[in-house]
Homo-oligomer: A and B are copies of this chain.
């Protein structure tokens, strides 16, 4: 990585030749939302964009820093807010999130079933230690955008989350987001 100074936006990061753009549509999220009927009905109507991330994975030695931006489109599937798939780090490596825009939640879980939830609002920092599976959720009416920074060469484990989800669901309540237990959840 060379030195650089850029706007911390998708357009800024795309000036770096190594930046990859990854989009997740509704069809990529099969099995992730609790309400399977609502999922099928929405997918039949349109394969909507749920989130996009732009990332530059550092490919040198282990003392660089990888980084990216995630943008989650506002909306729900049934009552469940749009969210990322979520993953564990299968290798050691902590991660930092900094919220840029919108209103989100960070869901964390350990493999033993401990769960924590943090607010993500602009100007906030979240620290995700190795061992905590993490998912982000847009609980606002606008796009929710945050930065991630992580040490290079982390191995991502998406499978455990795909199978069991998170202990907590983040649902649209009558006056804002409410957390509910996930009936499908099992500790990995």
Contacts and interface: CB of A to CB of B under 8 A. Distances in A.
A64 B94 contact: yes
A173 interface: no
Interface string A85-104: 00000001111101010000
Interface stretch (A21-29, A36-44, A115-123, A162-170): A115-123
A92 B119 contact: no
A119 B8 CA distance: 13
Nearest to A61: B92
A143 to B, nearest CB: 15
A65 interface: yes
Interface of A: 1-9, 12, 58, 61-65, 67, 92-96, 98, 100, 106, 108, 116, 118-120, 123-130, 132, 147, 149-151
The 4 closest A-B pairs by CB, nearest first: A5-B118, A63-B92, A8-B125, A5-B126
A96 B67 contact: yes
Total identical chains: 2
Given A63-B151, A98-B98, A147-B98, A123 B7 contact: yes
Q: A7, A64, A116, A119: which has the most chain B beta carbons within 10 Å?
A: A64
Among A2, A4, A108, the most chain B Cβ lie within 10 Å of the Cβ of A4
A147 to B, nearest CB: 7
A60 to B, nearest CB: 9
Contacts of A12: 124-125
